[in-house]
Amino acid sequence: MPVALTKKAIDLGIVTTNVEPMLKFYRDTLGFQYLREMKMPGGGLMHQLMCGDSMIKIVAAAKTPPKPAAGGIQGAQGYRYWTISVSNIPELLTACEAQGYKIAVKETELRPGVRIAIVEDPDGNWVEFLTVAG
């Protein structure tokens, strides 16, 4: 049976031990709308931000997780990057570079009319920006 969606977007949880730098990146540099902070069942704190219709959850767990999963696509198994469709890659890269964030993949054309760039957040997670012409 296929998934019976009730929302045309996904929510993404990012567990961190680096809350303030992560909020600075997602809220202040990328401009995600900050909704609220809430306590997590079992301890910890979640910060909810909106990226279009998708909720991005920056989570500070009550206990420090055993190890980070960073290093981009080749760095570890599991979810390694996520993609945001945008129309302003050059401006985003300029803003990210001005704040000292690492550009993992400079703006590049994958195929005619499709451009990407990838930036590392403060924890080393990859955020891909995608522009499709047309």
Q: Is the distance from CB of 8 to CB of 25 less than 8 angstroms? A: no
% of the chain at pLDDT higher than 70: 91
Query: Is residue 111 within 8 Å of 12, Cβ to Cβ?
Result: no
Mean pLDDT of 71-78: 65
Per-residue model confidence as pLDDT tens digits over 75-109: 666 677 899 999 999 999 999 999 999 999 999 99
Q: Determine how many CB atoms are found less than 10 A away from the CB of residue 58.
A: 27
Report yes or no: 19 and 47 within 8 Å, Cβ to Cβ: yes
Instruction: Tell me what pLDDT residue 106 has.
Output: 97
Which contiguous run of DSSP H or E holds residue 31?
none
pLDDT one-digit tens code per residue, 35-66: 999 999 888 999 999 999 999 999 998 888 77
CB atoms inside a 10 Å sphere around CB 95: 16
Secondary structure of residue 19 in the 3-state scheme = helix
- Domains in the chain (CATH in brackets) are 1-66 (3.10.180.10), 68-134 (3.10.180.10)
Q: Please report the pLDDT score of residue 73 as a whole number.
A: 65
